[in-house]
Structure 1
Amino acid sequence: MAAKVGKSGCAVESALSVIGGRWKGVLLFWLLKEGCLRFGELRRLLPNCTPRMLTLQLRELETHGLVKRTVYAEVPPRVEYEPTAFGRSLEPVILGLREWGEKYHRRLAAAAAE
């Protein structure tokens, strides 16, 4: 895995380059919440994410050591995804983002009601 360090050397920039992206945060949230999910289950949880994009985002998370992919030699093939210990270290961050997002939604709703 190539190190992802932004040009500025900023740790926040580096972190966002790894967990940023349209679906990575949501994928991490569901994997942290559920523990282990199959591709089809993730597709149902993210209905607006195309299979190709889901595959790309999962591969990137796997490349950075946040998600473990397990392939079972069965017919049909079974593939499961789960957070690694390093991925689990993001749980307070992801839950904090969720909490902030809920506050933001309430703020938007209050502004719309005015």
Structure 2
Amino acid sequence: MTRLLSAVLADYGPGMVAFWCPGCQSNHPIRVGPEGHGASWGYNGNPDKPTFTPSVLIRTGHHIPSQAGKRCWCDANRERVEQGKEPYHFTCDVCHSFVTEGRIQFLSDCTHALAGQTVDLPEWPK
């Protein structure tokens, strides 16, 4: 079970938090502490109205630069449909946003329907 820090922010282990993205319908983990490897985001420390800096960029499948030209979820889903089967739940996506004072500003390079919109962070799904 996910430990919630507030209605909109989850504890994802040492130095990690996550918010629920209504555009992707999935969580977006963010490293906010010095633990682990890789980039660390600034965090205002407010679990009710979090701000992360800089922007949050999530890429999956062929949108990951090192995966360009390789097989991806688009290929697998197309093959499933051609076989008369349901596509997998996974897709190749871009989600790029600013999270400021508990709101998500989705940038225009997002591949989901909320691109260009600003919405409140939703509550973590039960």
User: Please, what TM-score do these two structures have when normalized by structure 1?
Assistant: 0.32
Structure with bigger strand share is 2
Structure with bigger helix share is 1
